[in-house]
Amino acid sequence: MLRLSVIVPTKNEATAPRIISELYSKLGKDTEIIVVDKSKPDMLKPLYVTGAKIMVQKSSGYTAALMEGFSVAHGDILSTIDPDGTYEVDDFKKVVETLKAGNADFVSGDRSNNKEVIGSYLMFGNKFLTSVFNVFYNQKMHDALSGSFAMRRSAFDAIRKVNPGSNKAGTLFFEAALALHGKRIAEIPITYKERQGSKPQVTRSKPMLGIKIAFYTLKTRIIGAK
């Protein structure tokens, strides 16, 4: 039986303990859950009673947090879900099950049918960056920036040594690296909800962030994932 590891990156997320509890309830107590945290002390304390392994993040940024967690995980399937309440654990479970049952090396949750929640402004940016990824990496995705995805251990091992640096490409970092290594990428539709409990952790300058992610995606396609 394939063992599942779930990396939960947290930074002052009040909903994280509830999400972790749901993960154990719906995925089983034998699921390895690793929290990579960069919270204030009062937000970190409730995480220790969840039963998950807690790692204080040494690096900076979402992408690097995931790499830290994946690097120490023991599962045959490596996965992540944002703990801000925007993703349903039931949908996340479907993402994992799709990976286990299918022929893909990486499966993510496609939020593109939730425009009313995401908003036109962010949806435009998401579609633009996804289009850039599709064109230059020969993919057919609808949402390349989802915070809910799973990949096979063999896929991660192929990109384990790729340095995320300080980039903020998030999920696109993994998709770009995996695509360059010939891994199969797929997605399934999921529900997306309003964020709960805390403010977004992304930069306020979203246009500049989008430009940086697009530049990183293009640069990686040209020089490779190193």
Quote the mean pLDDT of the chain.
93
Q: 129-182, pLDDT tens digit by residue?
A: 999 999 999 999 999 999 999 999 999 999 999 988 777 899 999 999 999 999
| pLDDT at residue number 224 | 83
**What's the domain count of the chain?**
1
Contacts of 162 (CB under 8 A, 6+ apart): 177, 225, 226
pLDDT digits (tens, 9 = 90+) for 48-71: 999 999 999 999 899 999 999 999
pLDDT at 202 over 70: no
**CA nearest 80: which of 170, 141, 140, 157?**
170
Question: What whole-number distance in Å separates Cα of residue 50 and Cα of residue 85?
Answer: 16
In which band, very low, low, confident or very high, does the pLDDT at 5 lie, cut at 50, 70 and 90? Answer: very high
pTM, whole model, 2 decimals? 0.93
In angstroms, the CA 46 to CA 16 distance is 9
Give the helix ranges, DSSP H, for the chain.
16-27, 41-44, 62-72, 89-101, 115-118, 120-137, 153-159, 171-180, 206-223
Q: List the CATH number of the domain containing 60.
A: 3.90.550.10
Question: Per-residue pLDDT averaged across 123-134, rounded?
Answer: 95
Sequence-distant (6+) residues with CB within 8 A of 48 are: 54
Task: Residue 91: give the domain boundaries.
Answer: 4-223
